[in-house]
């Protein structure tokens, strides 16, 4: 039996608030996401459409440049809600590609390395762990969605004469809200699907499949049954309808009417809740043993 | 605040798979070794102790704190897992520093504690290198450093000696011993029984999810009455001693030591055995130099109670 000296003293100093600890995990995740050359390549690619959109805005607002380019043509450049819808749509699909590449890196490594016990044996909950990953993914996706969209809006506001900005503030709000809904949805779905697959490449494929396979099924259902409700499985279509409404652009009309906003919102919430349930089942500090 | 780790009738099932069943323990400070074959439930017991899994039934408190009180609980518990799980691209010291930041230490305090932990784990210059380039032994050391860095009162170590060379093993054992003597709870699971045995205050034997025995190693050995105890007696005339002991019917087995200067004797009644031995020594027939229990260790208890096939005998 030991003779205990009881000289040991546990740490009794100040403790930082919980949210700062979550940021440590977010920093890990952010570094992991951007350590890949493919992430950097995708981000660089995402800048190309932005450059094209800037040039178009410049030409649309500069009579001399427009005259030089549009010689003999009567076509007008309209920088309006539809134009910003195209910008948001383009950037959002680039965000999907980045999610499909980055999300599996954030989760699969921890699962395959059995890192969860060592991370969760800290005063940080499973929710805190997911939140840290989510913050890193949201920050990465923000860089290719709402940030360039709002910068383009600001450039258009700067370049256009007089009252354009006051007449189009709704577009700015729509760009921000539409992009945030999309990247939040993509992040939760991406992390949830990644948590169920140990192989990153397979997880990347599954994220694309989760978006496009139900869309095909929904399209077939709608065509056969002549109903609009099949499009509730079509995430690209649903998001396009939602973005158009948020920006104030003309609506899509298929099979006698478009989807109600409440139905789209409900469908997105259902998918997010299913994703949260998947994360809850998988993100545990030990291997799940099935009987 | 209690100074005990208490398991009160704890069971853990993973679906239909048994993790551990009806475990009741009351662990005081000092070094406790968890002993059991692979799949016996040692890691489940450690995960329960560190709040990483919740019991299916029963309750656990560590120093009077429930795992539900996460901030207070994890402030007192340090866990060194057996898995190679490090965030990629980090240097050794960054890993320890970040783990302290996750514990909620302010940066200045975290830097100070990081350096102290790295020194205690004797990582030296390796702390400035990427963990990805570490040897297995260095990985063990950096895991140990992160487990002790926040000054926990309970240190749970899952196979902490795996991959360490003999010198590093001796250094680690000395560190565990020092921490145990200072009043820390050190819970170790290890397959290197010969080495942890030397520093353990008590042993917890577990197999198939069931607790087989627990307590001080010598007390547990004495409880195993159906296995005669083996004693090594160093003396000048071992064959005479053996014949005397057989004559008074207190031996069931005798084996001469390889060097001819001692004898291993097995007896079913250790108290009577020592009494008789005193008598023989007093007669002056044999000059006894040393008497040592030869199977009074964790390894022997493991063999007797669990056996090499992992089933309790």
Query: In sequence order, what are the residues at sequence separation of 6 or more whose Cβ sits closer than 8 angstroms to the Cβ of residue A54?
Result: A152, A155
- Structural Rg of chain B based on CA atoms: 23
Taking only residues 39 to 78 of chain B, the set having a beta carbon closer than 8 angstroms to any beta carbon of chain A reads: 43-44, 47, 50-53, 70-71, 73-78
Higher-pLDDT residue of A85, A12: A85
Domain with A142, as residue range(s), is 18-282
Domains and CATH numbers, chain B: 5-215 (3.40.50.300), 223-299 (3.30.70)
Helix (H, G, I), strand (E, B) or coil at B60: strand
Is residue B87's pLDDT more than 80?
A: no
Is residue A276's pLDDT more than 50?
A: yes
Token match 């429930």: residue?
B66
Question: B188-216, pLDDT tens digit by residue?
Answer: 987 667 777 778 888 888 888 898 888 88
Question: B265-284, pLDDT tens digit by residue?
Answer: 888 777 788 888 888 888 88
Structure tokens at A48: 């190309």
Q: Which residues of A touch B181 (CB under 8 A)?
A: 2-5
Question: A181-211, pLDDT tens digit by residue?
Answer: 999 999 999 999 999 887 888 999 999 999 9
The upper half-sphere exposure of residue B159, i.e. CA atoms within 13 Å in the direction of its Cβ, equals: 15
Is residue A38's pLDDT more than 90?
A: yes
| pLDDT confidence of residue A256 | 55
Asked if residue A197 is part of any domain, the answer here is: yes
In terms of residues, how long is chain A?
Answer: 291
Token match 């380039």: residue?
B133
From the list A2, A24, A25, which residue is nearest B201 (CB)?
A: A2
Higher-pLDDT residue of A110, B46: B46
CB contact under 8 A, B104 and A21: yes
> Is B30 within 8 Å of B201 (Cβ atoms)?
yes
- What is the number of domains present in chain A? 1
Asked if residue A256 is part of any domain, the answer here is: yes
Residues of chain A with pLDDT > 90, as a percent, come to 54
Helix (H, G, I), strand (E, B) or coil at B153: coil
CA angle centred on B123, ends B136 and B202, rounded to 5°:
75
| pLDDT confidence of residue B249 | 67
Of B120, B213, B221, B253, nearest to B175 (Cα)?
B120
Asked if residue A219 is part of any domain, the answer here is: yes
| pLDDT confidence of residue A286 | 59
Question: B225-245, pLDDT tens digit by residue?
Answer: 677 788 888 988 888 888 888
- Rounded to the nearest integer, the mean pLDDT of chain A is 87
Which value does ipTM take for this structure? 0.72
CB contact under 8 A, A115 and B87: yes
| pLDDT confidence of residue A269 | 97
- Rounded to the nearest integer, the mean pLDDT of chain B is 84
Predicted confidence band at B1 (pLDDT cuts at 50, 70, 90)? low
Asked if residue A7 is part of any domain, the answer here is: no
Residues of chain B with pLDDT > 70, as a percent, come to 94
Q: How far is CA B154 from CA A16, A85, B82, B169, in A?
A: 21, 57, 17, 20
CB contact under 8 A, B153 and A18: no
Rounded-to-integer distance, Cα A283 and Cα B231, Å: 52
CA distance B101 to chain A (A): 6
CB contact under 8 A, A24 and B102: yes
Token match 């740490």: residue?
A11
Asked if residue A93 is part of any domain, the answer here is: yes
Asked if residue A13 is part of any domain, the answer here is: no
Task: Evaluate the CA torsion angle B221, B222, B228, B232 in order and state its sign.
Answer: positive
């Amino acid at each position: 039996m030991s003779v205990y000296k009881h000289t040991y003293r546990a740490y009794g100093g100040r403790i930082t608030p919980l949210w700062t600890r979550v940021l440590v995990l977010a920093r890990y995740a952010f570094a992991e996401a951007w350590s890949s050359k493919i992430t950097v390549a995708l981000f660089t690619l995402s800048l190309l459409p932005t450059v094209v959109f800037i040039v178009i805005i410049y030409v649309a607002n500069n009579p001399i440049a427009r005259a030089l380019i549009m010689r003999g043509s009567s076509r007008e450049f309209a920088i309006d809600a539809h134009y910003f819808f195209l910008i948001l749509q383009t950037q959002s699909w680039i965000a999907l590609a980045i999610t499909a590449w980055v999300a599996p890196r954030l989760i699969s490594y921890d699962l395959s390395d059995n890192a969860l016990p060592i991370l969760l044996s800290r005063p940080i909950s499973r929710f805190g762990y997911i939140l840290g990953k989510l913050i890193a993914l949201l920050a990465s996706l923000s860089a290719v969605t709402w940030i360039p969209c709002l910068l383009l809006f600001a450039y258009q506001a700067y370049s256009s004469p007089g009252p354009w900005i006051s007449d189009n503030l709704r577009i700015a709000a729509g760009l921000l809200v539409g992009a945030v809904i999309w990247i939040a949805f993509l992040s939760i779905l991406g992390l949830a699907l990644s948590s169920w697959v140990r192989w990153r490449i397979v997880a990347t494929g599954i994220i694309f499949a989760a978006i496009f396979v139900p869309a095909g099924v929904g399209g077939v259902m709608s065509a056969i049954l002549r109903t609009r409700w099949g499009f509730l499985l079509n995430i690209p279509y649903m998001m396009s309808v939602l973005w158009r409404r948020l920006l104030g652009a003309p609506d899509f009309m298929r099979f006698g009417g478009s989807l109600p906003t409440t139905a789209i919102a409900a469908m997105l919430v259902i998918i997010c809740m299913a994703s949260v349930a998947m994360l809850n089942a998988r993100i545990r500090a030990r291997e799940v043993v099935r009987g | 605040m209690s100074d005990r780790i208490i398991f009160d009738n704890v069971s853990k099932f993973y679906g239909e798979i048994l993790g551990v069943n009806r475990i009741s323990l009351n662990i005081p400070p000092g070094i406790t070794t968890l002993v059991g074959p692979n799949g016996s439930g040692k890691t489940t017991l450690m995960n329960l102790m560190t709040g990483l899994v919740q019991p299916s039934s029963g309750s656990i408190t560590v120093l009077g704190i429930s795992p539900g009180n996460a901030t207070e609980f994890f402030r007192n518990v340090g866990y060194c897992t057996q898995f190679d799980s490090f965030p990629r691209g980090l240097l050794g010291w960054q890993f320890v520093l970040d783990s302290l930041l996750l514990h909620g230490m302010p940066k200045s305090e975290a830097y100070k504690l990081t350096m102290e932990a790295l020194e205690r784990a004797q990582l030296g210059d390796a702390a400035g290198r990427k963990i990805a380039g570490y040897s297995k032994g260095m990985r063990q050391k950096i895991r140990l450093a992160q487990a002790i860095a926040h000054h926990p009162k309970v240190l749970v170590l899952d196979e902490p000696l795996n991959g360490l060379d003999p010198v590093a093993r001796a250094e680690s054992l000395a560190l565990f011993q020092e921490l145990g003597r200072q009043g820390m709870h050190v819970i170790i699971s290890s397959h290197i029984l010969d080495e942890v045995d030397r520093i353990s205050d008590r042993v917890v034997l577990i197999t198939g999810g069931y607790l087989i025995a627990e307590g001080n190693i010598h007390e547990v050995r004495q409880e195993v009455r159906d296995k005669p105890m083996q004693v090594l007696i160093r003396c000048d005339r071992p064959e005479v001693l053996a014949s005397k002991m057989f004559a008074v019917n207190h031996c069931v087995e005798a084996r001469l030591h390889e060097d001819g200067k001692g004898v291993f004797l097995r007896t079913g009644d250790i108290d009577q055995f020592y009494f008789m031995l005193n008598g023989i020594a007093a007669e002056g027939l044999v000059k006894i130099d040393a008497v040592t229990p030869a199977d009074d260790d964790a390894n022997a208890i493991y063999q007797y109670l669990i056996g090499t096939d992992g089933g309790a005998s």
